Every structure is written in structure tokens, then in C-alpha cells.
Homo-oligomer: A and B are copies of this chain.
Amino acid sequence: MADRANAPAEPGPRRVTKRRAETRQRLLQAALAVFAEEGFGRTTVDQVCARAGYTRGAFYSNFETLDELFLAVWEHRSTELITRTREAFEAFEQAAVKDVDGVVTHLLRAVPLDEDWYRVSAEFTAHALRTPELRRVIVEREQAIAASAMPFLFAALAEIGRTVPDPEALGQALVAVHDGTALQCFSEPGNTTVQQRRTSLFAHVITAYSSESRQQS
């Protein structure tokens, strides 16, 4: 009650220590792995902690409920992937692209296909649709993805003399195509045809949503 220091009615932990951040991090990492293996719904607090090298005490000291952890894991990992993608794009900066296929190659190389992540996000998606306050989280994330990747795509297209009349429509289309084709690739891992079709679907969509402007830069 009689807190003298800087305690303005904040019930959270007063001083966030270094150790705490480390623990939290390891729990997030472990949870992602366990969710991918067991499924969120069948995952137990103990499994996550064991995989991270803790006991259940660590969990209850950092999270209230498994749902909270699920959300944290998903947000953490998805921002991580967005960052990684942007970095990959920046690395391509000066690489020359000649045509739409070249753009697609870049795009697909920057956007990784991660089966573990697919499993987890598929289940999170279903979970979010069941939880009203989580719906917005999903659309925000999709917008963030588009906002982060599109500029690079435009730049690449501009290089080959193409412009995009309706950027948002293309963004939405590409996200849909990415999500939809991901499953196909995972369910037939060895099948190269599926992956080629994925590539050409991207090419077709990008072509359809962009138009030849004039000269190449």
C-alpha cells in the first residue's frame, strides 16, 4: 500500500529486470516449437516450460494464461518474419531484374516458407476468428505485411517499366496467393510441379495487377 517510490498505481512488476526478459524470450521460442509439434490446443504449460529449461513457476511468473502466451508468440514471430523479409529485400537492392519472373524470384526468395510457422499461424487464425477481440489483430498484421513488402515490389516493378494502379488490391491478392499456395507446397513436399505452379501463379497475378508504363528506369 504505502509505496513511496515511483509506483503510480501500476500493478505490473516495478523494475523489469534483465533476467526476466531473457526468460520470456526463451519461453516464446519454446512455445513456438511445442505449438508446432503438438498443436496449441493440446499443449500443456509444463511442456513449454520443460522445452525452455524451466519449470511451471517461470510461466506463471510471466504470463496469466496459455492464450496470452499464444498471442505473444504469434505477434513476436510475425513481426520477426516481417523484419526478416524487409532485410532480405534490402539485400537484393542492387540486383538487376529483367522481367516479371525475375521480380517473382526475388519476392519468393525474400518471403520464406516455414512449415512450423504455417501450422501455428493456421491454428492461431482459427483461434482468432473465435475470439472477437482478436480479429482486428489479424487484419492489422496483414496490412503490416503488405505495407512492409509492397514498396520493394513497386521499386522492382518500376525497374522493368511497370506500375501498379491499385496497390492495395495487389497486396491483398499476393497475401491470399501466398497463404493459399503455402499449404499445397507443404502437403506435397517433394512435388516440384506444385512449386513451379506457385511461382507462375505469382507471376500471373503480378502481371495482371500491373501495367506497362513506358521506359525502364
Contacts and interface: CB of A to CB of B under 8 A. Distances in A.
Interface of A: 36-43, 115, 118-120, 122-123, 125-130, 135, 138-139, 142, 169, 172-173, 175-181, 183-184, 186-188, 194, 197-198, 200-201, 204-205, 207-209
Given A135-B187, A187-B139, A208-B207, A127 B172 contact: no
A68 B134 CA distance: 30
Number of identical monomers bound together in the oligomeric complex: 2
Contacts of A178: 180
Contact of A175 (B119, B175, B184, B207): B184
B201 A173 contact: yes
A28 B64 CA distance: 34
Contact of A179 (B126, B130, B180, B197): B180
Q: Is the interface of A mostly helix, strand, loop or mixed?
A: helix
Contact of A115 (B115, B118, B129): B129
Given A129-B186, A179-B183, 15 more contacts: A39-B126, A41-B42, A41-B43, A115-B129, A119-B126, A122-B122, A139-B187, A142-B184, A169-B200, A176-B180, A176-B181, A179-B179, A179-B180, A180-B180, A208-B208
A1 B180 CA distance: 53
Contacts of A122: 122-123, 125-126
17 contacts: A36-B130, A118-B126, A118-B129, A119-B126, A122-B122, A122-B123, A123-B123, A135-B188, A139-B187, A142-B184, A169-B200, A169-B201, A173-B197, A175-B180, A176-B183, A204-B209, A208-B208
A172 B200 CA distance: 11
Contacts of A181: 176, 180
A184 B171 CA distance: 12
A197 B173 CA distance: 8
A198 B176 CA distance: 9
B129 A39 contact: no
A204 B172 CA distance: 14
A48 to B, nearest CB: 14
Contact of A119 (B119, B120, B130): B130
